[in-house]
Amino acid sequence: MKPWLEEMINERVGLQLVPLIDCVFVLLIYFMISSSMRRSEADLGLSLPGQVQQSEAISMPDEQIVEVRADGMIIFNDQQYDNRLKNDLASLEQALNRYREASLLVDAKPLITIAADNDSVHGRVIDVLNACAGAGIKNVTFANME
């Protein structure tokens, strides 16, 4: 055997930390650049109610009002949805879907106004928003129930 080969075999191989640290930094830089800092839950497009003086009358399209009461009851077209287990949301979504289809047949935008009581549970308002999204209704506004 050649002496340089014998010397390599007898030599203990150690862990090289410098290339390992280089790889870690390259991966860290890659993940920092490729990640996004946007929170998807906080990005809600809402139209809040306001008071504006009108100089002339404008034609308002037909809109439906969904009431959310303080006790968690949802009322849409005189139909009450009061199931706390959220089993009623499928039927609410079906009713909203029928409203959207009827609006599209007469060439009108389906508009929903959510009239939530000041003491209503926010989860039920989100349930109504999810039902509107499931029915394909994008024009949703809010109003105060007085």
Domain of 104, CATH number, reads 3.30.420.270
Mean pLDDT calculated for residue range 55-78: 77
| pLDDT bucket at 120, cuts 50 / 70 / 90 | confident
Q: Tens of pLDDT along 124-133? A: 888 889 889 9
Q: Total domain count for the chain? A: 1
88 found inside a domain: yes
- Say whether pTM exceeds 0.85: no
Report yes or no: 139 and 109 within 8 Å, Cβ to Cβ.
yes
- Retrieve residue 83's tokens: 């199931």
Mean pLDDT along residues 61-67:
80
**Residue 27 — very low, low, confident or very high, per pLDDT cuts 50/70/90?**
very high
In a domain, 45, yes or no: no
Range of the domain at 72: 63-144
Provide, rounded to the nearest whole percent, the portion of the chain with pLDDT above 70.
Answer: 70
**Selected residue with higher pLDDT from 106 and 101:** 101
